Amino acid sequence: MTILVTGGAGFIGSNFVLDWLAQHDEPVVNLDKLTYAGNLNNLAGIEGDPRHHFVRGDIGDGELVGRLLRAHSVRAVLNLAAESHVDRSIAGPAAFIETNVAGTFRLLEAVRLYWGQLGQDRRQAFRFLHVSTDEVYGSLDAGAAASDEEHRYAPNSPYSASKAASDHLVRAWHHTYGLPVLTTNCSNNYGPFHFPEKLIPLVIFNALAGKPLPVYGDGRQVRDWLYVLDHCSALRRVLEAGRPGETYNIGSSNQVANIDVVHAVCAVLDELRPRPDGLSYAAQVSFVKDRPGHDRRYAVDAGKLERELGWRPAEMFETGLRKTVVWYLAHGDWVRGVTSGAYRDWVAQHYASERGAP
């Protein structure tokens, strides 16, 4: 048997594939379009491993997906391929609609065709696990309870709206066609292989490069941070024991304001790689123009996953953040590899012209 992972050269997908092969012998077909966010260097640790079959391609290419499903007798699909950066979705939403909405639709159709031709036992055992975000629930007021799976959908950014649309398609393919789907809605991840356009790796990278650490608005927006390998263990558990048609929130109740995240990163760097002048990296913090429509707070209630499937995260924010900083300090080559060319263009365009920082 084999699983098909889409987006397995991205941040979470590559962590998932590496972790899966460290724990299982079951092969993985890894389908990734290799957009700016996809990076084969993330998978260098399994180069030449016969259990890993990488294919460059689009989830929207139904003919290719169908061929892969049949050729590898796939028993489960995990859909992690997406456009994932909120700021890019504001600057150019079209790619988000194309991949996250139309791409998921075409993937569902290719999977439905394949699944419909399986024998009874394999049809029943088949799973389509759709990886989504807590951002579909929209912004929470300061005192409001964390979002559980019954929370209304209220996406506010082009990114979260496109993910919400994909969640609805997945749900409909279960109710209408009986496809055995599982959906997970996870909070903000951090950890190794995180592309430095997102807050935590950007702060590590800019701090070490002596650049300003751009904090949007007042920096009091709250995110609920989960170490990426905890996300991976939750996905494995949901795949193994989740009930088809159900959705599961994933998170670890680590709600932290952005400015506190930035200071926490600076504190670990101050200890592990002090600035030559003895000042804290926090001196580089620079408040910049806010993100349009910036959601104030996300917080996710993952109690259902713990109650029903016994999953718990292994890391607290402090332990996971330290591991993350240590990883970036030890992987300067990886960072240099992803912070050239197109990355520099994005940073220059996004921060310099609009926000007046770096």
Q: How far apart are CA 304 and CA 310, in angstroms?
A: 9
Residue with tokens 């926090």: 282
List % helix, strand, coil for the chain (3-state, nearest 5).
Answer: 50, 15, 35
Q: How far apart are CA 246 and CA 248, in angstroms?
A: 7
| Catalytic status, residue 134 | yes
| Catalytic status, residue 159 | yes
- Inter-CA distances, 47 with 87, 192, 212, Å: 32, 18, 36
Per CB under 6 A, 254 contacts ligand TYD = no
- The values of phi and psi at residue 76, to 5°, are -160, 145
Q: Of these partners, ligand TYD, ligand NAD, none, which one is at the site of residue 86 (CB under 5 to 8 Å by kind)?
A: ligand TYD
Give me 42's structure tokens. 């993330």
Strand partners, 249: 185
Q: Of these partners, ligand NAD, ligand TYD, none, which one is at the site of residue 224 (CB under 5 to 8 Å by kind)?
A: none
Non-local CB neighbours of 344 within 8 Å, separated by 6+ positions: none
- Determine which one of 135, 167, 230, 315 is catalytic: 135
Among 199, 264, 269, 338, binds ligand TYD (CB under 6 A): 199
Cβ neighbours around 221 below 10 Å, total: 21
Q: Of these partners, ligand NAD, ligand TYD, none, which one is at the site of residue 12 (CB under 5 to 8 Å by kind)?
A: ligand NAD
Of residues 157-196, those binding ligand TYD (CB under 6 A):
188
> Buried b / exposed e across 84-103, counting CB within 10 Å, b at 16+?
bbbbbbbeebebbbebbbbb
Q: Of these partners, ligand TYD, ligand NAD, none, which one is at the site of residue 221 (CB under 5 to 8 Å by kind)?
A: ligand TYD
- Determine which one of 134, 197, 224, 295 is catalytic: 134
Q: Which stretch binds ligand TYD (CB under 6 A): 15-23, 53-61, 211-219, 224-232?
A: 211-219
Q: How far apart are CA 264 and CA 326, in angstroms?
A: 13
Among 163, 198, 231, 297, binds ligand TYD (CB under 6 A): 198
Q: How far apart are CA 32 and CA 38, in angstroms?
A: 7
The binding site for ligand NAD (CB under 6 A) comprises 6-7, 9-13, 31-35, 37-38, 58-60, 80-84, 99, 103, 131, 133, 163, 186, 188-189, 195
Residue 131 or 325 with smaller CB distance to ligand NAD: 131
Among 28, 43, 77, 86, binds ligand TYD (CB under 6 A): 86
Q: Of these partners, ligand TYD, ligand NAD, none, which one is at the site of residue 215 (CB under 5 to 8 Å by kind)?
A: ligand TYD
Among 14, 221, 233, 247, binds ligand TYD (CB under 6 A): 221
Residue 157 or 284 with smaller CB distance to ligand NAD: 157
The distance of closest approach from Cβ of residue 352 to ligand TYD in the complex, given in angstroms and rounded to an integer, is 12
Of residues 54-83, those binding ligand TYD (CB under 6 A):
none
CB 163 within 8 A of CB 135: yes
DSSP of 71-111, one letter per residue?
HTTEEEEEE------HHHHHH-THHHIIIIIIIHHHHHHHH
Per CB under 6 A, 88 contacts ligand TYD = no
Q: How far apart are CA 45 and CA 193, in angstroms?
A: 12
Q: Of these partners, ligand TYD, ligand NAD, none, which one is at the site of residue 186 (CB under 5 to 8 Å by kind)?
A: ligand NAD
Per CB under 6 A, 151 contacts ligand TYD = no
Residues in contact with ligand TYD by the rule CB under 6 A = 86, 188, 198-199, 202, 214-216, 221, 223, 258, 291
- What positions carry a catalytic annotation? 134-135, 159
